[in-house]
Amino acid sequence: MSEPTQPVHTTHTVGRTRVLTGAKPTSDLHVGNYFGAIRPAIEASHNPSNEVILMCVDWHGLTDRSKILEPGKYTAAVLATYLTMGFSLENNMIILQSEIPEIPEIAWYLSCVSAVGLLERAHAYKDALSSGKEPTAGLFNYPILMASDIVTFDAQVVPVGKDQSQHLEYASDMVRLFNNAVGRPVLFEPKPLIQSTPLLIGVDGERKMSKSYGNHVPLFAPKKDIEKRIKEIKTDSKGLDDPKDPETCAVFQILKSFGSAEAIEYMEQRLRTGTGYGYGHAKKDLIDEHERVFGSKRELYEHYINNPRELAQKLEPGHTRARQIAATVRQRVRDALNLGIL
Amino acid sequence: MSEPTQPVHTTHTVGRTRVLTGAKPTSDLHVGNYFGAIRPAIEASHNPSNEVILMCVDWHGLTDRSKILEPGKYTAAVLATYLTMGFSLENNMIILQSEIPEIPEIAWYLSCVSAVGLLERAHAYKDALSSGKEPTAGLFNYPILMASDIVTFDAQVVPVGKDQSQHLEYASDMVRLFNNAVGRPVLFEPKPLIQSTPLLIGVDGERKMSKSYGNHVPLFAPKKDIEKRIKEIKTDSKGLDDPKDPETCAVFQILKSFGSAEAIEYMEQRLRTGTGYGYGHAKKDLIDEHERVFGSKRELYEHYINNPRELAQKLEPGHTRARQIAATVRQRVRDALNLGIL
């Protein structure tokens, strides 16, 4: 009989796969974030075979000393966005990392089995070094905190982009090192789900949509700001009646990232046919669709932002459940190390 | 008017100086530990101008992966020893580090303002590297956790040996970096109290008393083991009636480290005079004094070891008070970073 490699008693919910997804609160969210991260997480929350933990990872946002006050500014926006856009709380949780003190505690245990060399080889750390920055210990320890996010919740599946796949390997390494050091399986080893996120183009029609490039379309800005931003989208010089290629049209690509199937099909056909449908018409349709999808929820979003107590109350059952899971895993780890007085 | 450099609102007790002392649970305690650390902390606990927090730092003991199960084994012994030997709980606390989850959380905040280079320059880390060991991230991060021990309790004075003075400088650096990053004094900067601990000689008469050299005299071992160990003490070849030098006599040095003034004076005079007082007599007197000081408390010590619930209950008021302090400091830090939902 072979030794078990995973703990026998876990906090898992029968019939559901626990999926952990993180969202870093480092700026107001835009359509690119919605396309790449928010919508997939919301869809996952509606899959009855999942139990999704969507974690706003504010502690991860602190690792740049000069931007240490940023996460506190954007946390409510992240939480409110997922809630407003329809993340299902029925069998899932939206939680704030900094509400779970078990995470840094378990990170300490992981740090005691992880070689310094492992962290020195992390791509993100090496990139920071080679860019000439003086990295903080927080940046250096980032993979440990991320591994703790995962193991503190017995996460089974962690969807990540390719740029994060090394961190998932590290999490697996740390789980094995810890279980090995204490002589039995205590931490649950997660499965990575490496996803290739197709990038969304920005309003400059050139680069990936990103707040740092200033080429983004916000989600919940005032309507006139959205209109202005969409009207700025760079297009080619084809005339009103020319057939246009949706594949190279940033207006269409942005619509495709969040619009309804009908809106997408309509614009695609009108662009291809061309007749009487210029980029101005397409922008107008994009503005209308943005208003239908996001603008209609602007009031609800702002309500949450202005009433953080109500936001917190909505998320409280999830935090309660998450704290139970974290407390159980913490106790499992402490028992294995025989920590505590009793 | 100059800016304040220390926080205005702290958890300090009027008229008392908060002194933080750590005790690492890495082996059963011996007379050398009593002399160097335990007795000074107990004496400090009886000084009415102090509020001593004696912290059993079990988390610090985990940083060597191959010895990760050790701290859990020795924690009760450390706690019971301080209690048995008369540490006053009246205005002071004996606490267990791993009962205070605020410590690793605040360590994370400190790590986000500390440069990796700072940790790379730590003597203890460099020593580990040069000894050819592969250090864990826990060892690398040790100064951050230690700084967090200090700031989590608004410690005012931290008595340390010279070997730890760099860690105290680091703690001050981190306090300033953090306060600077958030734009106001939030963490309290501790004062180091560098102490030159005179070393106690072991039973081999050569090296510092240390469990790793196997030349130690235990505190609470069975009486016959104590007798055997004391009879092993190396002495010179002076005869029964020769005058003997107490300064070079390990028997006397060990007695001096814990004995009463009377016992010390008596042996010193008898050795100097010599007549009718050989090393055998001195060893017998040392055994008697050991039995009077420690042996008389062996039963109480073993009672605590065998009744951890009672031990925990004795320490509970201190843990409650310590948790209040830690929670207050944590909230101060979180407010400065604007963390949390509300």
What's the confidence (pLDDT) of residue B342? Answer: 67
Instruction: Single out the residue of A151, A183, A153 nearest to residue A167, CA to CA.
Output: A151
What's the confidence (pLDDT) of residue B7? Answer: 94
pLDDT tens per residue, range A165-180: 999 999 999 999 999 9
Residues forming beta bridges with residue A17, ordered by sequence position:
A50
Among the partner-chain residues A109, A138, A339, the one whose CB lies closest to the CB of B108 is A138
What's the confidence (pLDDT) of residue A3? Answer: 66
Contacts of A315 in chain B (CB under 8 A): 341
CA closest to A312 among chain B residues: B341
What's the confidence (pLDDT) of residue B199? Answer: 85
What's the confidence (pLDDT) of residue A28? Answer: 81
CB contact under 8 A, B116 and A108: no
pLDDT tens per residue, range A109-136: 999 999 999 999 999 999 999 998 899 9
What's the confidence (pLDDT) of residue A199? Answer: 85
Q: What percent of chain B has pLDDT over 90?
A: 91
Note the pTM of the prediction, 2 decimals: 0.95
Residue partners of A215: CB distance under 8 A and separation at least 6 = A202, A203, A204, A206, A207, A209
CB contact under 8 A, A96 and B134: no
CB contact under 8 A, B99 and A140: no
Structure tokens at B184: 């106001």
CB contact under 8 A, A107 and B108: yes
Where chain B has pLDDT below 70, the residues are 1-3, 342
Name the pLDDT band for A27 (thresholds 50, 70, 90).
confident
Cα torsion through A303, A307, A313, A319, rounded to 10: 90
ipTM of the modeled complex:
0.95
pLDDT tens per residue, range B2-29: 667 899 899 999 999 999 999 999 888 9
Q: Is the CB of residue A143 less than 8 Å from the CB of residue A119? A: yes
Mean pLDDT, range A210-235, rounded to an integer: 95
pLDDT tens per residue, range B207-258: 999 988 999 999 999 999 999 999 999 999 999 999 999 999 999 999 999 9
Report the C-alpha gap between A268 and A286 in whole angstroms. Answer: 12
Among the partner-chain residues A58, A114, A118, the one whose CB lies closest to the CB of B339 is A58
Q: How far apart are the first and last CA of chain A?
A: 34
Contacts of B65 in chain A (CB under 8 A): 112-113, 177, 181
Is pLDDT above 80 for A2? no
Instruction: Single out the residue of B6, B260, B342 nearest to residue A79, CA to CA.
Output: B342
Interface with B, mutate which of A108, A120, A139, A330 (most B CBs under 10 A): A108
Q: Is the CB of residue B252 less than 8 Å from the CB of residue B268? A: yes
What's the confidence (pLDDT) of residue B287? Answer: 98
What's the confidence (pLDDT) of residue A197? Answer: 75
